[in-house]
C-alpha cells in the first residue's frame, strides 16, 4: 500500500477545493493510474500507481509559478502581470466561410485557424470539446480529425471539462495536434510538456480561450429542468451561443428543434446567474482570464461604440503571443480561410476594465482573504491585490452570493425564477444601466 498519497499526487487527492479539474494529472500519468471519476474529479487505481510524483509536479491547482510559466512559454523572465499578458500582436477577424462564422460563438476564428492546420497537413487532429449526446448537460474533450468533426465542435462550452485528460491518447497516436484550452488547461499543459519530451513534439499549437469562469456540472442540468426538459435523453446537445451574435443558450432536441432555456441573449441572460451560483470554487480564485501562456488567445470583441452598440459584432479578437501563434495566424490569412486586420496599435482593443476586474482585482482579493483566514487558497508568485475598501466589500458580496451552492434546492429555485418571466425586470434593469453609460 502506498502511504502519504497527498505528498506527491495532484491537489484533488488532498484538497478538492483547489482542483481545477483540468485533467493534467490524468493525461500526464505515464502508467494510466488516473482516470476521470464519476464526480468529475480524478480517481486513482492504486494497483497501477508507481508514486512517480509527475501528477503533483504538473498540477496547477494548489499554486502556480508565473515566472516558471513565462520561461517555459517565452524563454525569458519578463512576466507581464496584467490581464492580457504578453502580446506580440492583436487582430480582429472572422472565418471567411459564412457557415463556419455563423455557427461559431463569435467570429469563428478558432475554427478557421484549426481548419487551416488540418488542410495544410500541419496537424493530424485537434483536441477540442463537445457536449456528450447521451448526457448533453456534460462536456467532453475529443480529437477532431476531419473538417466535419471540427465544425461540429465549434462554439464555446462553459461547463467543467477535463481537456488535458485526453492527452494520454495522443502518446500512442501518430502525428501532431493542436489543442484548444482554457487558462487552467494551458497552465498544466505547459508544465507537463516541459517534462514530457515525447508529448511536447506532438503539440503543434496551443489556442487559448478567454475565461471568466466555468459552470459546475449541476448548472446545465438545473437549467434544463428550468426549461421543462426533465427527460434529458430527448436532448442531444446544449449550445450556449446559438443563433445571431452574441447568441442564446438553447437545448437541441433529437428532432433538431431548438428549445431556448432563458430570456434575453447570452450576454444579458442566464449565463450571469450560472456564473453567480454555479462557478466552481477554484474558478473564483483564478487570476488568469486571457490564457496568457497559449500561443494565441481568442475572445469576443466586447468593446462598444460611443452610441452603445458593439464595435465588432460577430468577430473574434486574437492575441498572438508566440512565434508558433504568429506563424499559424499568418498562414491562415494567406490560405484565405481567415480574414483579419491588425489592431495592435489601437488601445481600444485592449481588454475592457469591466472584464479585467473580476480576475485581476476580485479574485486576487479573495485569495488574499482566504489565505489570511487559513482557508484553502492557491499560492501565486504575483503580488497580492491592493483593492480599495469598496473592492473588498464587493468581493465579499460576490462570495456570499456564491455560497448559495451549499443549498442546491434553493439555488435551483432561484435559477428557475430568474429564467422565468419573473426575471425579465432584472434583465431590463441590467440593460438600462448599460444604456445609461452611452447616453449623450
Burial class (CB in 10 A: 0-12, 13-18, 19+), 283: buried
Contact between 111 and 129 under an 8 Å Cβ cutoff? The reply is no
Q: How far is CA 185 from CA 36, 39, 71, 272, in A?
A: 15, 19, 17, 23
Q: Quick one: residue 264, left, alpha or beta (phi over 0 = left, psi -120 to 50 = alpha)?
A: left
Contact between 77 and 198 under an 8 Å Cβ cutoff? The reply is no
Identify the weakest region by mean pLDDT among 24-33, 155-164, 214-223, 423-432: 423-432
**What's the pLDDT score for residue 230?**
66
Q: How many whole angstroms separate alpha carbon 125 and alpha carbon 118?
A: 7
Contact between 226 and 269 under an 8 Å Cβ cutoff? The reply is no
Per-residue model confidence as pLDDT tens digits over 332-390: 999 999 999 999 999 989 998 888 999 999 999 999 999 999 999 999 999 887 889 99
Q: How many whole angstroms separate alpha carbon 34 and alpha carbon 42?
A: 6
Of 111, 160, 165, nearest to 139 by C-alpha is 160
* 3 state SS for the chain: CCCCHHHCCCHHHCCHHHCCCCCHHHHHCCCCCEEECCCCCEEECCCCCCCCCHHHHHCCCCEECHHHHHHHHHCCCCCCCCCCCCCCEEEEEEECCHHHHHHCCCCCHHHHHHHHHHHCCCCCEEEEEEEECCEEEEEEEEEECCHHHHHHCCCCCCECCCHHHHHHHCCCCCCCEEEEECHHHHHHHHHHHHHCHHHHCCEEEEEEECCCCCECCHHHHHHHHHCCCCCHHHEEEEEEEECCCCCEEEEEECCCCEEECCCCCCCCCCHHHHHHHHCCHHHHHCCCCCCCCCCEEEEECCCECCCCCECCCCCEEEEECCHHHHHHHHHHHHHCCEEEEECCCCHHHCCCHHHHHHHHHHHHHHHHHHHHCCCCCCEECCCCCCCCHHHHHHHHHHHHHHHHHHCHHHHHHHHHHHCCHHHHHHHHHHHHHHHHCCCC
Per-residue model confidence as pLDDT tens digits over 177-189: 999 999 999 999 9
Contact between 141 and 161 under an 8 Å Cβ cutoff? The reply is yes
**What's the pLDDT score for residue 1?**
47
Q: Quick one: residue 40, left, alpha or beta (phi over 0 = left, psi -120 to 50 = alpha)?
A: left
Q: How many whole angstroms separate alpha carbon 325 and alpha carbon 113?
A: 10
| The CATH fold of domain 5-63 | Alpha-Beta Plaits (3.30.70)
Task: Give me the residue spans of the domains in the chain.
Answer: 5-63
Top pLDDT among 438 and 319 is at: 319
Contact between 145 and 124 under an 8 Å Cβ cutoff? The reply is yes
Scanning the structure block, which residue is given the C-alpha cell 508568485? Answer: 381
Is this model's pTM higher than 0.85 or not?
A: yes
Top pLDDT among 438 and 117 is at: 117
Q: 293 Cβ partners below 8 Å, 6+ apart? A: 69, 70, 72, 73, 85, 183, 186, 187, 190, 206, 208, 321
Q: Is the dihedral of CA 317, 321, 323, 325 positive or negative?
A: negative
Is pLDDT above 60 for 440? Answer: no
Peptide bond into 246 cis (omega under 30): yes
Q: Can you tell me the mean pLDDT for 392-401?
A: 95
β-strands 135-144, 177-181 pairing:
unpaired
Q: How many whole angstroms separate alpha carbon 176 and alpha carbon 197?
A: 13
Q: Can you tell me the mean pLDDT for 410-436?
A: 89
pLDDT band at 3 (very low <50, low <70, confident <90, very high): low
Per-residue model confidence as pLDDT tens digits over 400-413: 999 999 999 999 99
Q: Can you tell me the mean pLDDT for 262-272?
A: 89
Burial class (CB in 10 A: 0-12, 13-18, 19+), 304: middle
Q: How many whole angstroms separate alpha carbon 229 and alpha carbon 197?
A: 47
Q: 309 Cβ partners below 8 Å, 6+ apart? A: none
Is pLDDT above 60 for 105? Answer: yes
* Average pLDDT along the chain: 93
Amino acid at each position: 500500500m502506498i502511504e502519504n498519497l497527498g505528498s506527491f499526487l495532484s491537489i484533488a487527492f488532498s484538497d478538492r477545493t483547489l482542483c481545477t479539474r483540468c485533467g493534467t494529472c490524468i493525461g500526464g500519468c505515464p502508467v494510466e493510474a488516473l482516470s476521470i471519476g464519476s464526480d468529475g474529479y480524478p480517481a486513482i487505481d492504486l494497483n497501477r500507481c508507481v508514486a512517480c510524483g509527475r501528477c503533483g509536479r504538473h498540477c496547477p491547482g494548489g499554486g502556480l509559478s508565473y515566472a516558471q510559466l513565462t520561461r517555459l512559454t517565452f524563454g525569458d523572465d519578463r512576466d507581464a502581470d496584467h490581464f492580457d499578458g504578453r502580446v506580440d500582436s492583436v487582430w480582429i477577424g472572422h472565418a471567411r466561410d459564412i457557415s463556419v462564422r455563423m455557427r461559431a460563438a463569435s467570429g469563428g476564428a478558432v475554427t478557421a485557424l484549426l481548419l487551416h492546420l488540418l488542410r495544410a497537413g500541419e496537424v493530424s487532429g485537434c483536441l477540442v470539446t463537445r457536449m456528450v449526446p447521451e448526457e448533453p448537460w456534460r462536456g467532453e474533450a475529443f480529437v477532431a480529425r476531419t473538417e466535419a468533426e471540427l465544425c461540429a465542435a465549434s462554439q464555446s462550452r462553459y461547463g467543467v471539462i477535463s481537456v488535458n485528460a485526453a492527452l494520454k491518447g495522443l502518446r500512442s497516436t501518430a502525428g501532431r495536434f493542436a489543442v484548444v484550452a482554457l487558462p487552467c488547461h494551458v497552465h498544466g499543459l505547459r508544465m507537463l510538456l516541459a517534462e514530457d519530451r515525447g508529448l511536447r513534439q506532438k503539440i503543434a499549437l496551443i489556442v487559448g480561450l478567454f475565461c471568466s469562469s466555468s459552470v459546475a456540472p449541476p448548472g446545465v442540468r438545473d437549467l434544463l429542468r428550468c426549461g421543462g426538459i426533465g427527460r434529458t435523453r430527448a436532448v442531444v446537445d446544449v449550445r450556449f451561443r446559438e443563433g445571431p451574435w452574441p447568441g442564446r443558450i438553447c437545448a437541441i432536441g433529437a428532432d433538431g428543434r431548438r428549445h431556448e432555456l432563458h430570456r434575453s441573449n447570452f450576454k444579458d441572460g442566464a449565463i450571469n446567474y450560472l456564473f453567480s451560483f454555479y462557478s466552481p470554487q477554484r474558478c473564483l480564485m483564478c487570476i488568469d482570464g486571457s490564457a496568457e501562456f497559449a500561443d494565441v488567445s481568442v475572445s469576443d470583441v466586447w468593446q462598444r461604440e460611443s452610441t452603445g452598440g458593439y464595435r465588432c459584432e460577430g468577430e473574434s479578437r486574437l492575441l498572438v503571443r508566440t512565434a508558433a501563434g504568429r506563424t499559424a495566424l499568418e498562414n491562415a490569412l494567406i490560405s484565405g480561410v481567415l480574414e483579419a486586420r491588425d489592431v495592435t496599435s489601437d488601445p481600444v482593443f485592449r481588454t475592457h476594465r469591466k472584464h479585467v476586474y473580476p480576475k485581476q482585482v476580485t479574485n486576487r482579493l479573495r485569495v488574499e482573504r482566504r489565505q489570511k483566514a487559513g482557508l484553502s487558497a492557491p499560492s501565486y508568485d504575483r503580488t497580492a491585490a491592493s483593492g480599495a475598501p469598496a473592492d473588498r466589500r464587493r468581493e465579499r458580496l460576490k462570495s456570499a452570493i456564491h455560497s448559495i451552492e451549499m443549498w442546491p434546492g434553493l439555488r435551483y429555485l432561484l435559477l428557475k425564477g430568474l429564467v422565468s418571466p419573473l426575471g425579465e425586470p432584472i434583465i431590463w434593469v441590467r440593460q438600462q444601466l448599460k444604456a445609461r453609460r452611452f447616453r449623450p
